Amino acid sequence: MHAELDQTTGEKMVLNFGPQHPATHGTLRIVLELDGESILKATPHAGYLHTGFEKLGEHLDYNQYIVVTDRMNYLSPLSNNFGYVLAVEQLLGIEVPKRCQYIRVLMAELSRLADHLLWLGTAALDLGAFSVFLYSFREREKLYSIFEKTTGARLTTSYTRVGGVLRDLYAGCEEDIRQFTTDFPKALRETHALLTRNRIWMDRTKGVGVISSEDAINYSLSGPCLRATGVQHDLRKAEPYSSYEEFTFEVPVGTNGDAYARYLVRMEEMIQSCHIVEQALDNLPTGPVNVVDNKISLPKKADAYGHIEGLIHHFKIIMDGHGIQPPRGEHYSATESPNGELGFYIVSDGSGTGYRIRIRPPSFFNFQALPHMLEGGMVSDTVAVLGSLNVIAGELDR
C-alpha cells in the first residue's frame, strides 16, 4: 500500500523554515525539500543579519572595534571581546599583567556558562521542555547580574581594552561569583534530572543529526560540536593563551556526534568552566589590570585632568591618527569561544585602524554542516538539530 502511494504521487514538497521562526533564535533560513516527512535536501541560507562588521573594522580604531565584537555574539559577548583584544595585543607584541589574564579567563568562563545556559534553555524549550528553560534562565540571570556589576552592561559589555580591561573587579565580586559556583552544580543536577534520562528528550536527540569525526573535521566544525564526535581538541589545551596552561580542567568529548552527545558535552563543559572559575578566584594575582605603557593604556582620569603628561597621553591615545598603531604586518589569533574556534586575522598597515579585519566565526561552519546532519532525517528533527548546534546569527553573518 505504501509503495503504491509513493509511486502515484512522487512529488516533493518544499518547506520554508525561517527567517522568522521561533526555533531559529536569530534570523536564518532553511529551505527543506520533503518527501512526506523525510528530508531529501536542506539548503541553509545565511546573510539576513549581515552588518558589515569586517568592513567597519577598516574604519574604526583598535579600541573602538571592541564595541563591535560584543554585538557580534549576543550570547557570550565577553569571550568575543577577549578574543579580539588578544589578537591586537599579539600583533602589538605586548603581554598583559597576570591579574588581567586571570580576570579575562574568569570572565570568559563565566560567559561560556552563560552561553551554554541560554543554549540549554532554548534547545530544551524548542523540544517542549519548558521548565528547563526557567531553571537555566534563573541561573543565567545571576551571571548577568555579575556581568552588569563588573562591566556596566548586561549585553553590550565591551569589557576588555587593548592592553587590559576596563576596570578591576568590583568589591564583593568574589563573593558573588563564589555564591554562584556553590549553587550552580545543584541547579545543573536538577536539569540533569529533568533531561538526561528523560525518555522523550532521549528519543528526540539520540541518533539525530549525526556527524562522524572525519566529516566534522572536513566541515571545519569546532567547539562542542566537534568534541561531541570524539575529537579531543580544545584550543585552551592545544594552544594555551592568557595563562590557560596554569588551570586544571578536563576536555569532555562525546562518542557518536549526535544531538544528545552535543548536549552532554555542553553540560560537562559547564562543570569544567565552574572549576576554572574557582581556580581563577583562588589564585587571582594582585597587581595592575592594564599594561603600564602610556602609549597603550589610558591614564587615570585624575592624571588626564591634573597633569600635562596625563593630558597628552590621553589625547594621543584617543585622537584619530595618534592612537594605538601596531607595526605593519599581520597576525592570526584564535581562542576557544563557547561555540568553538573564534579567530581574528588582522592585517595592519601601520596606521591606527586595521587594514583588514577578518573574523573566523565558529557558527558559520556549524551552520554550513547542517544539511549533512539533516538530510535523510525527519522534518521534526530539524528543530532538535538546529537547536543542538547553537548557531548565533550575529556571528554567522557578521
Partner 1 sequence: MNEEQTALVLEKLKEKYGSSLLAHAEKPDGVIVVVNKENAYALLEYLKTDTEFAYTYLVDVTAVDNSQLESELERFDYARFIVVYHLYSYRGHPRVRVKVPVHERALRIQSVTSLWNGANWLERETYDMFGISFEGHPELRRILMPDDFDGHPLRKDYPLRGRGERESFNFERQNV
Among 271, 355, 378, 379, binds partner 1 (CB under 8 A): 355
DSSP category for residue 142: H
Task: Give the 3-state secondary structure of residue 143.
Answer: helix
Q: What are the DSSP calls for 326-379, one per residue? A: PPSEEEEEEEEETTEEEEEEEEE-SSSB-SEEEEE-HHHHHHHTHHHHHTTSBT
**398 is a site residue for partner 1 (CB under 8 A):** yes
CB 205 within 8 A of CB 304: no
For the chain, the residue count is 398
253-292 positions binding partner 1, by CB under 8 A: none
* 331 in contact with partner 1 (CB under 8 A): yes
Under the criterion CB under 8 A, does residue 151 sit at the interface with partner 1?
no
Minimum distance of partner 1 from residue 300's CB (angstroms): 32
Give how far Cα 149 sits from Cα of 118, 172, 335, Å: 20, 10, 25
Q: Phi/psi of residue 128, each to 5°?
A: 95, 5
Stretch binding partner 1 (CB under 8 A), from 120-128, 280-288, 290-298, 354-362 = 354-362
- How many residues bind partner 1 (CB under 8 A)? The answer is 40
Task: Verify binding: residue 241, partner 1, rule CB under 8 A.
Answer: no
Q: Sheet of 356-360: strands edge to edge? A: 329-337, 340-348, 356-360
CB of 253 to partner 1, least distance (A): 13
Q: Which residues contact 37 (CB under 8 A, 6 or more apart)?
A: 378, 379, 380
Work out whether 178 is an interface residue with partner 1 (CB under 8 A).
no
189: contact with partner 1 by CB under 8 A: no
DSSP string, 204-235: HHTTSS---HHHHHHTT--THHHHTTT----H
**Does the footprint of partner 1 cover residue 236 (CB under 8 A)?**
no
Rule CB under 8 A: say whether 360 interacts with partner 1. yes
Residue closer to partner 1 (CB basis): 62 or 219: 219
Kindly identify the residues of this chain, within the stretch 25-64, that bind partner 1 according to CB under 8 A.
46-47, 50, 52, 54-56, 58-59
Residue 191 and residue 136 in contact, taking contact as beta carbons nearer than 8 Å: yes
Residues forming contacts to partner 1 in the complex (CB under 8 A) are: 46-47, 50, 52, 54-56, 58-59, 90, 215, 217-221, 231, 233, 239, 328, 331-334, 341, 343, 345, 347, 349, 355-356, 358, 360, 364-365, 368-369, 372, 397-398
